[in-house]
Chains A and B, each alone.
Chain A
Amino acid sequence: MKRFAKLFTTIDQSTKTNTKVAALAEYFEHAPDHDRVWTIALFSGRRPKRAVTTTKLREWAAEQAGIPLWLFEESYSIVGDLAETIALVLPVTMTHDDQPLSAWITALREIYTQPEDARKEFVLKAWATLGGTERFIFNKLITGGFRVGVSQKLMTRALARATDKPEAELAHRLMGNWHPDTITWHQLVEAQDASVDASRPYPFYLAYGLESSPEDLGDLAQWRAEWKWDRIRGQLILRDGQYFVWSRGEELMTSRFPELARTVDFIPDGTVLDGELLVWPHGQPTPASFNALQARIGRKTVPKKLLADAPVVLHAYDLLEWQGEDIRSRPFSERRSLLEELSAVVPADAPLRISPQLEFHSWGELAELRTSAREAQAEGLMLKRVDSPYLAGRKKGDWWKWKLDPLTIDAVMIYAQSGSGRRANLFTDFTFAVWDGNDLIPFTKAYSGLTDVEFRKITAWVRKNTLERFGPVRKVTPHHVFEIAFEGIQRSTRHKSGVALRFPRMLRWRQDKPIQEANSLADLEDMLRIYG
C-alpha cells in the first residue's frame, strides 16, 4: 500500500493542481494494473463491498484505544471523519507492510463471508501493522469516501497524460456503472471497441454563474434562454429496450423514478436526454415545491400513493444521443430541433416534456423575465449560445446560469456550535433569531458564507460571550446581526418559528447594525405570503 499512500500524501498535502496531476500521471504509468483501476475507482467514489459495519469498527477502535465509546464518538464529531478518528486514537505505530493496494482490497473481500471473530482479528492485525497514512487509507477502504481534492477533471487529465488519449474520451469511459471487480485496466482505459455498457451516461455539461451583465454576451440573436430549475439534474438513457436515470452526482436512480419507464413506449432506442427531474402534477401551472421532490428522492422504492401524489416529470433541455449516435458536438440549435421533433409524438400526460425556450427581444426584456423566475418555481435563467456543443464538465463561455438574487433577512445570532473536520477548532454553526415582540425566536441555522478571518474573529468573541452551555452548544449574548440569504421559504410545523428556509447561509456580518434593527417574525410571515 506504500505506493498508494505516497500518492495520497502528495495529493493531500498539495494545493497545486500541477503537482497533483503529475503525481497521479506518474502513478498511472507505473502502478500495477489492478491498483490503477482501484485508484480510479476510489477517487471517483467507488469502494469495495463493506466487510465490517462502522458500528463494529467504532467499538473495536475504542476498545483498542482503551477509551469509552462515548469519548470515541465525541472525538469523531470533532474530527469529522471516521477513518481518520480511528487512525488517530489507536496507539502510534510504524508501518510494516509491502502488499499492493489491491491485495488489501482482495483480503477485505475474502473476510466478507467469514464470522465476526475472524473479521475482527483481521482488522486488529491491520491496525497493528499499518501506521499513519496507511492506517487511515485502510480504514477508508472499509468506510469509503476518499475526499482528496481529486476531481474527475483532474483525474482524467492525469490519465490523458499517462495514456496519450483525449480527455473527453476518458471522461466518458469513466462514467457509469463499472466496478473494478469486473473490469480490467485495458477494458476501462485502453480497449478500442469497448462493448459499451448500455447504461453509461455522458459527462454533464455544467455552467458558470454570469458575472457581468448579459449585454456583454454580444449579439442577442446568438442566445437562447430557459428557466433554470433548481431540482434534480438527470440524464435519461434509452438503450437496448431499457431505461436508465442518472443523477449529476453519477448515481443510478432508475428505480426511484418508475413512472419514467413509460418513456420507452414512445421514444426510440438509442436516445439520451439531459433535463431536470421535477414533481409536477398533471394540469398544474408550475412544478411542486422542492419538499415534494425531497419526499421522492428519499426513497429507493416508491409506494403507490406517493407516486400518485408526487408524480415526477423530466423536463428535457438537451439531446445528447440520437439514433444511437453521440451528437454532443453538433450545435445546440440542431440538438434542440431534434429534441422538439422527438417530443412532438409524446402524449400530453407523459412524464416527459421539453423545457420551454423563453421569448425575448432585448436583454432588458430578459432581465424582466428573470425577476419572475420565483413565481415559475425556478431560480433564474439559463443562457445558451445557439452554436454551442455539449461539453464535458464545468466550462465558461457558451452556457451561463443567471440566477436570481437570494432572499435576505437580518437576524441575531443566539447560539454557536463548533464545526468538525476542517473547522474543528472554530465556532462555525450558528442559530439565528428574529424579533417577536421583545423575544428572539430562533428560525434558522447557517454554517457558511463567512471568511476564515471572520470565523476566527467570531470564534474569539463566542469564547468570551458564552452565557450558557448545552453540551457542545453555547448560548451567547445577543449582540451580532447577520444578513441571512436563502433561496426559498416554506411553512413548517417542525420549527418553532413556523417557517423553514432553503439553503440558508450568512451573506454578510452586519457589524454596523444594532440588534434592535434585526428583522421580525412578521417580516418572515410577509415573505412566506409572497414566496411560500
Chain B
Amino acid sequence: MTNAPVLSFTENGIYCASGDFYIDPWHPVDRALITHGHSDHARWGMQRYLATHIALPVMRHRLGDITADGIAYGEERQIGDAKVSFHPAGHVPGSAQVRVEVNGEVWVASGDYKVVDDGLSDPFTPVKCHSFITESTFGLPVFNWADQNIIASEINAWWAACAANGKTAFLGAYALGKAQRLLTMLDPSIGPILTHTAIENTNRILRDQGIGLPDTILANADLDPKSYPGAIVLAPPAALGSAWSKGFGSQETAFASGWMAIRGVRRRRVGDRGFVLSDHADWGGLMSAIRETEAENIYVTHGYTDVFSRYLNDRGWTAQVVPTQFEGESLDKDGTE
C-alpha cells in the first residue's frame, strides 16, 4: 500500500499516480480522462482520451483527430492500480463525475455539475466516496435556482411579447448544453425557432446520437431574415449585436445564465432581459451533492472557493481550496461555457 494520495493536484491538473493518468488536464499529457466537452475541461493535445460514449462525438468535433476511447456510465475499468468509472454529472449531455478507487480508498472528481434534471442530460447521481472534488461556481447562499418550468414560462412569455410587437427575440446561449436545454424549454407554437451555425453544428451531432431536440431552422447567410416573423434566434453571445444579427431588423436580446440572479450583473449586460438558468449547481445543490457523497474531505476547485470551503470547514468537513484553470460559468463573449 502506497502513501501517495489517490489524486493529487499538479501543474498539469488533477493526477492519479496509481494509474498514471490525469483528469481534465490543462497541458498535453499521455492519458486524459475527460469529464465533459467544454473547452476548459476537454483540451487539445493529449495522447489518449477517455470520456463517456455520449460526450465523445462533440469532443471529436471540437478537438479534431484524437485518439479516444469511450466508456459507459457505471462501467468499471482498471488503469494501472486504479479502478475508474464514470457517473452522470447532469451538467450537459455526456458529462460525468470520475470515480477513482485505489486500495479501497475512493475519490470522486465531479468536473462541473448540477443536481436538477434538465430533461436532456442523464441526471446527477451521487457517488459515495472518501474525498470529493467539487466546483463552487455558485457557492454562495444568494444563488437559489427557481424551477426550470418557471424559467421556461418567463422565456416563452418574453418571446411571445417580442413576436406580438413585431420583434425578433435573440437569446444568447453557449453552443454545447445551454442552447439545447433552452431548445427543449421553448414553446414551438409561438413561432419558428432559428439557430446560429455554431449552435446548429452541436445540435446535429447530438441529434445523430439520438438525443431528441425540437425542429430548428439554420439561420446561415442563405436565410432571408425577414421571412420568419415572430421567430426566436438562439445564438452564441458573441453573435448578439453582430452584423449578422442586425439583418433581422427590430429585435430584443436576452441572456440565460446563473449570473442573472444578481441584479447588478444583469444590468451590466445591457441586453433587454436576463433569465436565471444555469447548468451549475446552486447553493442548495452543492450542499446536497456534498452531503450525499458522505465524503469527509472536500477539495474546492473553482468559483467562490474561499468562502465555500470556509463554510464547509465550519460545518465539520475538512475542506481546502485547490487552484485550477477551470472557469465555471463565464459571461465572457469569447469565453468557455
Interface residues of A (CB under 8 A from B): 12-15, 65, 67-68, 71-72, 74-75, 78-81, 84-85, 88-89, 92, 149, 420-425, 452-453, 456, 460, 463-464, 466, 469, 471-472
Find the A residue at minimum CB distance from B145.
Answer: A92
Known contacts A80-B264, A424-B264; A85/B142 CB under 8 A: yes
Chain A residues with CB below 8 A from B142, complex form = 75, 78-79, 85, 88-89
The residue in chain B whose Cβ has the minimal distance to the Cβ of A472 is: B306
How far is it, in angstroms, between the C-alpha of A456 and the C-alpha of B259 when the chains are bound?
A: 14
Beta-carbon contact of A424 and B262 below 8 Å: yes
Instruction: Say which residue of A14, A68, A78, A92 sits within 8 Å of B140 (CB atoms).
Output: A78
CB–CB B267/A460 < 8 A? no
21 contacts between A and B (CB under 8 A): A13-B273, A15-B272, A68-B311, A71-B307, A71-B311, A75-B140, A78-B142, A78-B304, A79-B142, A79-B264, A81-B263, A88-B142, A89-B142, A92-B146, A423-B265, A425-B265, A456-B335, A460-B327, A464-B325, A466-B323, A471-B306
B56 to chain A, nearest CB (A): 28
Residues from chain A with Cβ under 8 Å of B314 in the complex: 68
- Nearest B-chain residue to A15, judged by Cβ: B270
B264→A421 contact, CB < 8 A:
yes
B272 contact set on A, CB distance < 8 A: 13-15
B324 CB, min distance to chain A CBs, angstroms? 9
Give residues in B with beta carbon < 8 Å to A. 140-144, 146, 259, 261-265, 267-268, 270, 272-273, 304, 306-307, 311, 314, 321, 323, 325, 327, 331-333, 335
Residues of B with C-beta under 8 A to A92: 144, 146
- By a CB distance below 8 angstroms, the chain A residues around B327 are 460, 463
Instruction: List residues of chain A with CB within 8 A of the CB of B325.
Output: 463-464
Q: Which residue of B lies closest to A77 (CB)?
A: B307
Interface contact B306-A469, CB-CB below 8 Å:
yes
Q: Which single member of B259, B307, B311 contacts A425 (CB below 8 Å)?
A: B259
B306 touches A12 (CB 8 A): no
Query: Known pairs A425-B259, A471-B306. 6 more at Cβ < 8 A?
Result: A15-B270, A68-B314, A88-B144, A422-B267, A424-B264, A452-B268
Residues in B neighbouring A420, C-beta threshold 8 A: 264
Query: Are A422's CB and B306's CB within 8 A?
Result: no
Closest 4 CB pairs of A and B: A421-B264, A422-B264, A88-B142, A422-B268
**A88 CA to B266 CA, complexed, in Å:** 14
Complex CA–CA separation, A15 to B264 (angstroms) = 13
A72 to B325, CA, bound (A): 27
Q: In the assembled complex, how far is the CB of residue A8 from the closest CB belonging to chain B, in whole angstroms?
A: 11
Chain B contact residues: helix, strand, loop or mixed: loop
| Contacting pair B264 A423 (CB below 8 A) | yes
Q: Is the CB of A89 within 8 A of B265?
A: no
A89 near B306: Cβ-Cβ < 8 Å: no
CB-CB under 8 A from A14, the residues of chain B are: 272
In the complex, the chain A residue whose C-beta lies closest to that of B331 is A425
CB–CB B141/A89 < 8 A: yes
Within the assembled complex, what's the spacing in Å between the Cα atoms of A67 and B264? 23
Look across to chain A and name the residue whose beta carbon is closest to the beta carbon of B314.
Answer: A68
Distance in Å: Cβ of B55 to nearest Cβ of chain A: 25
**Complex alpha-carbon distance, A425 and B331, angstroms:** 9
CB contacts (< 8 Å) of A421 on chain B: these are 262-264
How far apart are the CA atoms of A68 and B259 in the complex, in Å? 23
- In the bound complex, residues from chain A placing their C-beta under 8 Å from that of B141 are 65, 67, 71-72, 75, 88-89
The smallest beta-carbon distance between A90 and chain B, in angstroms, is 9
- Minimal beta-carbon separation of B47 from chain A (angstroms): 24
Task: Across the interface, name the chain A residue whose C-beta is closest to B307.
Answer: A74
Residue of B with least CB distance to A91:
B144
Taking a contact as CB atoms closer than 8 A, the residue among A423, A460, A469 that contacts B335 in the complex is A460
Complex CA–CA separation, A453 to B263 (angstroms): 20
Instruction: Kindly state the separation between the CA atoms of A452 and B271 in the bound complex, as whole angstroms.
Output: 14
| CB–CB B323/A81 < 8 A | no
Closest to B269 in A: A452
Partner of A460, one of B261, B263, B270, B332: B332
Chain A residues lying within 8 Å of B264, measured Cβ to Cβ, are 79-81, 420-424
A contact residues around B140 at 8 Å (CB): 71, 74-75, 78
The docked-state distance in angstroms from the alpha carbon of A423 to that of B263 is 10
Q: Which of B264, B304, B314, B331 has the most CB of A within 10 A?
A: B264
> In angstroms, how far is the closest chain A Cβ from the Cβ of B197?
23
Known: A65-B141, A89-B141. A456 touches B270 (CB 8 A): no
Contacts of B143 in A (CB 8 A): 88
For the complex, what is the distance from the CA of A65 to the CA of B335, rounded to whole Å? 33
A79 contact set on B, CB distance < 8 A: 142, 262, 264
C-alpha gap A27/B304 in the complex (Å) = 41
Closest A residue to B271 by beta carbon equals A15
Q: Which residues of B contact A422 (CB under 8 A)?
A: 264-265, 267-268
Per the bound structure, the CA–CA distance linking A452 and B331 in Å amounts to 11
Task: Please determine whether B146 and A12 come into contact, CB atoms closer than 8 angstroms.
Answer: no
A464 (CB) vs chain B CBs: closest residue: B325
Residues of B contacting A452 in the complex (Cβ-Cβ under 8 angstroms) = 268
Could you say which residues of chain B place their CB within 8 Å of the CB of A81?
A: 263-264
Chain B min CB distance to A430 (Å): 18
Q: Which of B262, B267, B270 contacts A12 (CB 8 A)?
A: B267
Q: Chain B: which residue is nearest A90 at the CB level?
A: B144
Complex CA distance for A456 and B238, rounded to whole angstroms: 14
Cβ of B261: which chain A residues have Cβ within 8 Å of it? 88
CB distance from A128 to the nearest CB of B (A): 16
CB A449 to nearest CB in B, in angstroms, measures: 16
Residues of A within 8 A of B259 (CB): 424-425
CB-defined contacts of B144 to chain A, threshold 8 Å:
88, 92
Most A CB contacts (10 A, CB to CB) among B143, B144, B262, B335 go to B262
Which of chain B's residues have a CB closer than 8 A to the CB of A471? 306
Which residues of B are found within 8 Å of A453, using beta-carbon distances?
333
A72 to B144, CA, bound (A): 14
Most A-side CB within 10 Å, residue of B146, B263, B268, B333: B263
- A75 to chain B minimum Cβ distance, whole angstroms, is 5
User: Is A84 a contact partner of B263 (Cβ separation < 8 A)?
Assistant: yes
Once bound together, how far apart are the Cα atoms of A74 and B292, in whole Å? 26
Complex interface: chain B residues within 8 A of A80 (CB)? 264
- Whether the Cβ atoms of A423 and B268 lie closer than 8 Å is yes
Q: How far is the CA of A71 from the CA of B143 in the complex (A)?
A: 13
Contact across chains for B265 and A424 when beta carbons are under 8 A apart? yes
CA distance A309 to B325 in the complex (A): 56
Q: Name the CB-closest residue of A to B258.
A: A425
Within the complex, what minimum Cβ distance (angstroms) separates A63 from chain B? Answer: 13
B280 to chain A, nearest CB (A): 12
B146 closest partner in A (C-beta): A92
| CA of A74 to CA of B305, assembled, Å | 12
Chain A residues with CB below 8 A from B270, complex form:
15
A420, B333: Cα distance in complex, Å: 20
Which chain B residue shows the least CB distance to A456? B332
Most chain A beta-carbon neighbours within 10 Å: one of B140, B259, B307, B311: B140
